[in-house]
Chain A
Amino acid sequence: MTVRLDPRTKLYMIFVVSAVVMMSATNSLLWALRIVVTILPIAFLIMEKYYASALRFLILYVTALGITFTCLSEKSTGFFMAFLLGYCSIIVQFLPAMITAWYVLRTTKIDEFICVMQKMHMPDGITISLAVVMRFFPTIKEEYTSIRDAMKMREIMLGTGNVIKMVEYRIIPLMFSCVNIGDELSAAAITRGLGEKVKRTSVVELKMKVYDYLLVILFSVVLIVYVVFRNVK
C-alpha cells in the first residue's frame, strides 16, 4: 500500500514535530506521544520504500532511547556517563525533527512544494529561495564528493598538510561549481516563466485525502496535549 501524503500535511507534520521537540517530556504520556510522533515518519519512509534510511533512523533512535531510559538516574555520575547521556539525549531530542525533515525533503517534489506555497500565498521570494535550498543539498553533497576525490588525487587530504589550505581547496571549488549550477538553474527557471507577474499554473493537483485529515487531527492532538501539560504544570 502506498500512501502519498499531501505536502500540506507534511509541512504541518514538520511544524508540530519541531514544536514538540522543543518542549520537554516529563511524564510517560508525553514520552509515548513523542515516540509516536517519531515512529510515524519512519513508517512513512518505509512506505515510500526508503528501507535503508528508515532502518538506520530506527536503530539510532531506539538505541539512544534505550540508553537514556536505562542509564538515566540520580546515580549516573562520572565523566563517561555524563558523556554518554549527553549524546543520547541530544539524539533523542533532535532526531525526531531530523527524521521528519529528511522524510519531507526526500518525498516532496519541488513542483508540489512550489504549488503548495503558492496556494498558501507565501511571497515569491521565500518560495523560490526555499525550493532552491531544498533542491541544493543533494547537489552540494554530490559536488563535494567529486571535489574530495579530485583533492585525493593531488594528495590533499584531511589530516595532512595545513588546515587552511585544506579548507580553502575544498570551499573554493565548491563555490565555483555552485555558482555555475545556479546560473544554469536560473536560466532554466526563467525560460519556464518563473518570476513573472502572471499566476502560474501547475501540473500537479493537490487534494487533501482522508488520511491527510486523520494525520492533521492526530498531530493537532499531540500538540494540544503538549501545550496543555506545559501550561498546567
Chain B
Amino acid sequence: MNNKKLQAKDFITIGIFTALLFVIEFACGMLGFIHPYIVASYVILIPLLGAVPMMLFYTKIEKFGMITIMSVLIAIIMFVTGMGYLGAPLIIISGLVADIIAGMGRYKKSKNIMFSYGVFCFWICANYFPVVVTADSYRKNLLDGGYSKQYCDNLFRAINSKTISVLLALCFVFGCIGAFVGRAAVKKHFEKAGIA
C-alpha cells in the first residue's frame, strides 16, 4: 500500500466494518431490554465483542483517517437512531485520538493498536451521555411528566457524574483486554486464511 491517501476501496471497507460494529452494538443493546442494569455492562460486552472486527479492520487499511471516518459514521448513526447529539464530540474526538495513536505505530505495532482501540472504545460511553450529562434536568422532566419518585430514584441511583469516569476507565481497560482477544482471534482464523 504505497498510496497514503484513502481510496474508494478503503471507504467501502470502512463502511462494512462500521456496519458490523454497529450490528454488534445493536445486539448488545437488545440485551439491555432485559434489565436496565445490563445497560451498564455495555462497557464490558461491546469492547470484547467488537474487538474481533476492529482488529481485522486495523490490519485491512493501515492509513490515517480510517478510524476518524468510522467515528464520524458512528456519530451520525447514533444521532439518526435517536441517541442524540451530545455524545458526538466524544465519539469523534476519541476516534481521532485513536487514529493518531495507531498512526504513531504505523498501524503495525501491537502496543499502539491496543491503546488505540482502548481509546476508541470511549465511544460506547456516548450511549450514556444524554442521561448522565443532563441527569438533573432529565430527572426533573421525568417527575414533571408524572413518573413516581421511587422510579426516578431507582433509575438515578446508578447514574451520577462519578459513574461516567468509572465507565470511561472500564471502557479503556476492557478495550485493551478485547484487543488481545481480538488479535488472538484474527491470528487464529484470518491470517491462516490469508485475509488479514
The yes or no verdict on A and B being binding partners is: yes
Contact of B193 among A21, A176, A195 (CB under 8 A): A176
Tell me the dominant secondary structure on chain B's binding face: helix
The A-contacting residues of B in range 175-189, CB under 8 angstroms, are 185, 189
CB of A142, distance to nearest CB on chain B (Å) = 12
Cβ–Cβ < 8 Å partners of A185 in chain B: 12, 16
| Complex Cα gap A115–B12 (Å) | 17
Q: Per-residue 0/1 for A183-222: is the Cβ within 8 Å of any B Cβ (1 yes, 0 no)?
A: 0011001100011000000000000000000000000000
| Complex Cα gap A186–B149 (Å) | 55
| Complex Cα gap A124–B116 (Å) | 25
| Complex Cα gap A163–B22 (Å) | 21
CB of A91, distance to nearest CB on chain B (Å) = 10
The answer to whether A128 touches B85 (Cβ under 8 A) is no
- One of A42-50, A55-63, A68-76, A145-153 contacting the partner: A68-76
| Complex Cα gap A74–B149 (Å) | 7
The answer to whether A129 touches B8 (Cβ under 8 A) is no
Contact of B141 among A24, A82, A189 (CB under 8 A): A24
CB of B71, distance to nearest CB on chain A (Å) = 11
Contact of B9 among A19, A74, A190 (CB under 8 A): A190
The B-contacting residues of A in range 107-158, CB under 8 angstroms, are 124-126, 128-133, 136-137, 140
| Complex Cα gap A140–B53 (Å) | 13
The answer to whether A74 touches B79 (Cβ under 8 A) is no
The B-contacting residues of A in range 73-123, CB under 8 angstroms, are 73-78, 81-82, 85-87, 89-90, 93-94, 96-98, 101
Cβ–Cβ < 8 Å partners of A168 in chain B: 185
The answer to whether B151 touches A77 (Cβ under 8 A) is yes
Contact of B15 among A74, A82, A136 (CB under 8 A): A136
On B, residues with C-beta under 8 Å from A are: 6-9, 11-16, 18-20, 22-24, 33, 36, 49, 52-53, 56, 60, 65, 69-70, 72-73, 76-77, 79-82, 84-85, 130, 138, 141, 144-151, 154-155, 185, 189-190, 193, 195
State the 6 A-B residue pairs at the shortest beta-carbon distance, nearest first: A195-B8, A132-B15, A97-B82, A136-B19, A128-B11, A129-B15
On A, residues with C-beta under 8 Å from B are: 14, 17-19, 21-22, 24-26, 72-78, 81-82, 85-87, 89-90, 93-94, 96-98, 101, 124-126, 128-133, 136-137, 140, 167-168, 171-172, 174-176, 178-179, 181-182, 185-186, 189-190, 194-195
Give me 28 A-to-B residue pairs in the complex whose CB atoms sit less than 8 angstroms apart, sorted by A's number: A17-B82, A21-B82, A22-B130, A24-B145, A72-B147, A73-B148, A74-B146, A85-B151, A98-B82, A101-B81, A124-B11, A125-B6, A125-B69, A129-B12, A129-B14, A129-B15, A140-B19, A140-B20, A171-B52, A172-B52, A175-B52, A176-B193, A176-B195, A178-B19, A179-B60, A181-B16, A190-B8, A195-B9
